[in-house]
Chains A and B, each alone.
Chain A
Amino acid sequence: MNAANERLHPGQVGWLLFALALVTLPHVERLPWWVTLLAVTLLIWRIYITWHALHMPPKWLLFVIAGGTIGGIYLHYGRLLGRDSGVTLLVVMLALKLLEMAALRDAMVLVFLCYFLVITNFLYSQTIPTALYLLLVVWVITATLIGFQFRQQQPGFRYQFRSAGMLLLQSVPLMLVLFVLFPRVSGPLWGMPQDALSGTTGLSDEMSPGSVSKLLTSDAVALRATFRSEVPRANQLYWRGPVMWDFDGYTWTASRLGNQLQREVQRSGNPIEYTVTVEPHSRRWLFALDLPARAPAPARLTGDFQILSPAPVSRRTRYDMVSHANWRDNAELQSFEKQRALALPARSNPRSAALAERMRKGVADDRAYAAAVLAMFSNQNFYYTTTPPLLGTNPVDEFLFSTKAGFCEHYASAFAVLMRAGGVPARVVTGYQGGEVNYVGAYLTVRQADAHAWTEVWFTNEGWVRVDPTAAVSPNRVESGIAAAAPQSESLPRQVRGEYEWLQRARMTWDSATNSWNQLVLEYTQERQFQLMERAGIDNATWQKLATIMFMLATAVTLVIGLIMLYRVRAQRPDPLVHAYNRFCAKLARHGVTRHPSEGPVAFSRRAGATRPDLRDLIETISAFYVQLRYGSSASATGAKELMAKVNAFPSA
């Protein structure tokens, strides 16, 4: 019977279903509920068919189900060829294929689809746990594949798993060679589906009351930074993000284009050198400490010191940065800039405007005015909370005069409004403040929960100056981070709160591992590939060179593995006694007497002795000794060695 048409054992079907379930499991949370339900139903149906050895459902029924599902997916996602809809389609097709799977041929196709489905999981997550889980899944799939190949005896799943494990382990060296040396191409080959990057969290280009505090519950990492020298003090860790100029009374908005002007800045003090790895957030900002000295290519530095990448940050990006903690903005404020920095919508927040006018009149200059406002925040019972009351159409008024409880964005917004109303140019800057030093990996982790908003105001002769009104209310926020600032009762990510030391250590180790994973595995790009080559002494690496080295190394690795493997098919090493005797015979053969394989040792020694009378005594001694050891009744542990010694002493031809 031809192998391809061979029917499947229930055990084989069982393992395949198991592998399929494992590979689909991580997708379940992303699938529409009805697709999950359908897939589970089809799976159970298939188990039922196998269990009771029933017939497969008719083809037309499967077509109807397929057609209906495709329609449903189109309605749900609005497209068929996106990332999510594609994966959903694949899952559905796989489940339907199950009900068509009768022969080995179909099962093999399913196994390959399983492998393919593994890779779709990486579109969503490439963390260490995902990698480990999917490695396990690959193991199960490979074991299933091995199970399909038995034609006679089924040695059982233990054997399958052991072989699959061995096969995968033996594949690791070659995989490493290919991974390190396969010439990487940067950038997508074709356009990515539009939904490829949805679902990432991060700062937005708008800020309205409550928008930043949404990030507070997220322990997702925003960026990691490794400093060349010491990590700056916490109150200097202002990670500059979107700068917002425009206020409509409720929401602050960053301009999408960015300011094109180049500004003269006087930087002083030691430059801070560090490397940032920013997580993808689908926006164009690259974060840097106040104040960035330059932008990493191909990004550019705008007039308001944002770093804008030419395209949304769709993948983890790493760049070297230099910043200066002390700086002075010397340039003049252009009139259109001034106009923008003072603009307030008419009729919004009228009480705040009135308050600002009153307070500005009471002080001498802009700087004194700003100090007075900050003093107001700290003296009146303003209250820092991560769960502020909801605000209505005039949020600044409500905040300043009634609720008096808020989060950084409230303070920044209110402060900027008061400044503008008092005739001082002001803008809101959002970004991250602080971060956690990971002493295991010696780097700084900044999470989404560290999101922050502050203001910058323009003072004549001083230029733009950073003023953080939150610090006036809650100095802890800036000095020690959000956990110290927020009341204990409020919910924050566990990571942000203090904890047991061992737990913290474990968490930091894990984060450090994640960081290394990100740096070494996930961020292994063409650039790093060439760096590695340079370090290995290969200058001017081109992809041709890489490919050549890759092929050479891959061949070498395969040869070595092949030789090790083939060792096991060789005949077993003979008994040491026989080995010694064979050497003796080989020596005699060079003397001109060849032993026939079926010639007994005594007969041979007699013949050899007759041919070479000069050696007869030696030949007979050795033969008799061998005969006694091999066929005699007295066993001797050292006999083989003694025989070998005698054979070695036997004269060579």
Chain B
Amino acid sequence: MHREQIDNVVKQISQVILGKERQIRLSVACLLARGHLLIEDIPGVGKTTLAHTLAAVLGLQFQRIQFTSDLLPADILGVSIYDRDSGKFRFHPGPIFSQVILADEVNRATPKTQSALLEAMEEHQVTAEGETRPLPEPFFVIATQNPSNQIGTFPLPESQLDRFLMRIELGYPDAGAERALLQGADRRDLLPKLTPALQPAELAAVQTAVRAVHVSSALLDYLQALVDYSRKSPDYVSGLSPRAALALLAAARAWALMEGRNQVLPEDLQAIVPGVVGHRLFVARDSTRINGAAVSENLIEAVPIP
């Protein structure tokens, strides 16, 4: 049942974003696992479109925040303004108070603003002027980021990257997809035509189902072997954190459900490793870091399934 719904979501997105089914599935899995998503690539490969499409297809309330170097924390979280009529400060919620946030070019903002967003992501609530306000449910942040070697950016520090469940890279489309893109209509025009494939209640049900996917101890053995290897191997700068292990598990559950299974298999774990591990594990001894895919392939290759 859930599988058909999810397949439908994936199919709809694929009509807009061409030739990127794997990335689409990963990002859907990320959202189903209640994680935040970071899309990293050079400008113009469709990062923002993907975020838009995701929100539209899931039928969620959507806000886009363009991050710039002058963006202040209050611009995201909201401000209290003195209300002359009531004689009191009144809180004007910022754009973060919506279900899906597209944080575009998150690395353009100052670290201060970035951390305001990341704290809100982590805690699912906003504390402003001594008052704590909960964020809506569900709450997704899809952040896009330009590659860090561009001038005038503040790449997210590694510790902050950990807050995103997955990081995906879109990459250039292949020739066929690009031709279709060139021949077809403007992608942005397609967006309003999208109809939500899931009702909010259905989404909540799918998310609950994800949590109920069975994880056997044999799979946990494998997960632990992977994490353990990353910690002991000299190939990596630092090993995967317990939070990363939890992220792997949550994402693998979502993937299994998307595959129509009620139990997690090693294959599910292997499928989501590139998304989850890429921004958490860095290859040591090289001044230019191998991209995420190679790190995860390395990891999967090196650890036998127990």
Contacts and interface: CB of A to CB of B under 8 A. Distances in A.
Nearest to B269: A600
A633 interface: yes
B265 interface: yes
Contacts of B180: none
Interface string A589-616: 0000000111111110000000000000
A199 interface: no
Given A632-B263, A633-B263, A597 B216 contact: no
Contacts of B265: 600-602, 627, 631
Given A598-B304, A599-B305, A633 B214 contact: yes
Contacts of B190: none
Contact of A598 (B214, B219, B264, B301): B301
B23 interface: no
A577 to B, nearest CB: 8
Contact of B302 (A598, A599, A603): A598
Contacts of A627: 265
Interface residues of B, number: 18
A597 B266 CA distance: 12
A597 B303 CA distance: 8
Given A599-B305, A603-B267, A630 B214 contact: no
Contacts of B177: none
Contacts of B305: 597-601
Nearest to A577: B218
Interface in B254-305: 262-267, 270, 300-305
Interface residues of A, number: 15
Contacts of B270: 598, 600
Nearest to B270: A600
A79 to B, nearest CB: 67
A63 to B, nearest CB: 56
A597 B304 contact: yes
Interface in B73-127: none
Given A603-B267, A627-B265, A631-B263, A598 B216 contact: no
A603 B303 CA distance: 16
A596 B301 CA distance: 9
B233 to A, nearest CB: 14
A376 to B, nearest CB: 103
A631 B300 contact: no
Interface in A483-538: none
A326 B283 CA distance: 106
Contacts of A633: 214, 216, 262-263
B304 A632 contact: no
Contacts of A578: 306
Given A631-B216, A633-B216, A598 B300 contact: yes
B219 A631 contact: yes
B262, B304, B305 — most chain A CB neighbours (10 Å): B305
A633 B300 CA distance: 25
A277 B306 CA distance: 68
Contacts of B304: 597-598
B267 A630 contact: no
Nearest to A578: B306
A317 B304 CA distance: 70
Interface string B168-192: 0000000000000000000000000
B260 to A, nearest CB: 12
A601 B269 CA distance: 13
A487 B263 CA distance: 95
Contacts of B219: 631
A524 B305 CA distance: 61
Given A630-B218, A631-B219, A600 B266 contact: yes
B271 to A, nearest CB: 9
A485 B267 CA distance: 98
Contacts of A598: 270, 300-305
A333 B302 CA distance: 106
Contacts of A602: 265, 267
A598 B269 CA distance: 11
A602 B266 CA distance: 9
Contact of A600 (B214, B267, B301): B267
Contacts of A631: 214, 216, 218-219, 263-266
Interface string A3-37: 00000000000000000000000000000000000
Contacts of A601: 265-267, 305
Contacts of B303: 598
A630 B300 contact: no
Contacts of A630: 216, 218
Contacts of B266: 600-601, 631
A601 B270 CA distance: 12
Nearest to B218: A630
A594 to B, nearest CB: 13
A276 B92 CA distance: 117
Interface in B221-255: none
Contacts of B263: 631-633
A179 B91 CA distance: 96
A16 B270 CA distance: 57
A630 B215 CA distance: 10
A568 B216 CA distance: 28
Contacts of B306: 578
A651 B234 CA distance: 43
Interface in A438-453: none
Interface in A170-193: none
Interface string B202-222: 000000000000101011000
B214, B216, B270, B300 — most chain A CB neighbours (10 Å): B216
A600 B306 CA distance: 10
A382 B262 CA distance: 111
Given A597-B305, A598-B304, A600-B305, A632 B216 contact: yes
A602 B303 CA distance: 17
A459 to B, nearest CB: 101
Nearest to B306: A578
Interface in A616-653: 627, 630-633
A54 to B, nearest CB: 45
A135 B46 CA distance: 83
Contacts of A600: 265-267, 270, 305
A600 B303 CA distance: 11
A190 to B, nearest CB: 63
Interface string B2-22: 000000000000000000000
Contacts of A597: 304-305
Nearest to A603: B267
A647 B301 CA distance: 26
Interface in B4-59: none
B77 to A, nearest CB: 43
Nearest to A599: B305
A631 B266 CA distance: 9
Interface string B117-150: 0000000000000000000000000000000000
A478 to B, nearest CB: 86
A632 B218 CA distance: 10
B297 to A, nearest CB: 10
A600 B263 CA distance: 14
Enumerate the 5 nearest inter-chain pairs by beta-carbon distance, A residue then B residue, closest first.
A597-B304, A600-B267, A633-B214, A600-B266, A631-B216
20 contacts: A597-B305, A598-B300, A598-B301, A598-B303, A600-B267, A600-B270, A601-B265, A601-B267, A602-B265, A602-B267, A603-B267, A627-B265, A630-B218, A631-B263, A631-B264, A631-B265, A631-B266, A632-B214, A632-B263, A633-B214
Interface of B: 214, 216, 218-219, 262-267, 270, 300-306
Given A599-B305, A602-B265, 12 more contacts: A598-B300, A600-B265, A600-B305, A601-B265, A601-B266, A601-B305, A603-B267, A630-B216, A631-B214, A631-B264, A631-B265, A632-B214
Interface of A: 575, 578, 596-603, 627, 630-633
